[in-house]
């Protein structure tokens, strides 16, 4: 099921690539993994794959359109398997949880705003930073 994706992308089907693809695919929707995250999971799964390879493979996947790279904070990039549909993100500032959403109205307003400025939009990043209401979220313990 994943091998064709790799072939289509012009990438050889190798253990590391399959395994990394697998890790990304088994992530729940809204699960965004940093290279380190992927690396740790590989170690947990007894896979002997170097961090350098993880970066290389993730970059190749990105170039091939298999994954998308996000920069929710300015430091560490996180990767997400492309499931076809575009979406935006809400990130909880306390527990780092990420939720995804789409809003057609926002999308078209964006294009309109850009057109007004003489830009033709190729891509966009809309990230909302806030606090979620989840029980487990740290700020509920702090401030109530």
Partner DNA sequence: TTTGCTGCAAATGCTTTGCATGTAG
Partner DNA sequence: CTACATGCAAAGCATTTGCAGCAAA
Q: How far apart are CA 87 and CA 23, in angstroms?
A: 21
Q: For a second copy, what does the binding mask look like between residues 84 and 123, x meaning CB under 8 A?
A: ----x-x-xx-----x-x-x-xx--xx--xx-xxxxxxxx
- Shortest Å distance, C-beta 100 to a second copy: 9
- Shortest Å distance, C-beta 44 to DNA: 15
Q: How far apart are CA 6 and CA 117, in angstroms?
A: 39
Q: How far apart are CA 101 and CA 29, in angstroms?
A: 11
Burial class (CB in 10 A: 0-12, 13-18, 19+), 78: buried
35 touches, from a second copy, DNA, none (C-beta below 5 to 8 Å by class): DNA
Q: Is 136 in the site for a second copy (CB under 8 A)?
A: no
Q: Residues 30 to 69: which contact a second copy by CB under 8 A?
A: 69
**How far apart, in Å, are the Cα atoms of 96 and each of 10, 15, 20?**
34, 30, 22
Of 13-21, 105-113, 118-126, 135-143, which part binds DNA (CB under 7 A)?
A: 13-21
Closer Cβ to DNA, 71 or 86, answer by number: 71
The values of phi and psi at residue 90, to 5°, are -120, 125
Chain residues in the site for DNA (CB under 7 A): 7, 10-17, 34-36, 48-53, 55-59, 74-77
């Amino acid at each position: 099921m994943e091998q064709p994706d790799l072939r289509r992308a012009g990438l050889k089907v190798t253990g590391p690539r399959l395994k990394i693809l697998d890790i990304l695919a088994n992530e729940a929707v809204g699960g965004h993994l940093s290279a380190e995250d992927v690396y740790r999971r590989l170690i947990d799964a007894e896979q002997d794959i170097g961090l350098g390879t993880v970066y290389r493979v993730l970059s190749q996947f990105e170039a091939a359109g298999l994954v998308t790279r996000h920069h929710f904070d300015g430091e560490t990039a996180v990767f997400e398997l492309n499931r076809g549909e575009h979406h935006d993100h809400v990130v909880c500032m306390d527990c780092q949880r990420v939720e995804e959403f789409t809003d057609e109205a926002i999308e078209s307003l964006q294009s309109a705003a850009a057109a007004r400025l003489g830009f033709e939009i190729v891509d966009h990043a809309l990230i909302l930073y806030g606090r979620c209401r989840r029980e487990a979220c740290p700020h509920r313990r702090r401030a109530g």
